[in-house]
Amino acid sequence: MSLSSQNSTGVRPRVALLGRFTESASALRFRGVVSARMLLEGLWAAGLDPVTLLPTADSSDWHERLKGFDGVLFAGGGDISPAAYGELPDSEHLYDIDDVQDANDLALMKYVLAEGIPFLALCRGMHLLNVALGGTLNQHIEPPHRHLTHDVVFEKAWDEFGLELPVVTSSCYHHQSVARLGTGVRAVAYSTDGCVEALTVDGANGVAVQWHPEDRWEIDPDQLAIFKKFRERIG
Catalytic residues: 123, 212, 214
Find the largest Cα–Cα distance for the chain.
Answer: 51
Q: What is the DSSP string of the chain?
A: --S-SGGGGTSPPEEEEEPEEES--TTTSS-EEE--HHHHHHHHHTT-EEEEE---SSPP-HHHHTTT--EEEE---SPPPGGGGT-----TT-----HHHHHHHHHHHHHHHHHT--EEEETHHHHHHHHHTT--EES--SS-EEEEEEEEEESS--GGGT-SSSEEEEEEEES-EE-S--TTEEEEEEETTS-EEEEEETT-SEEEESS-GGGTTTT-HHHHHHHHHHHHHH-
Lateral strand order in the sheet of 49-53: 49-53, 14-18, 71-74, 119-122, 206-209, 196-201, 185-191, 145-154, 167-174
CA 67 from chain centre, in angstroms, equals 20
The residue count for the chain? 235
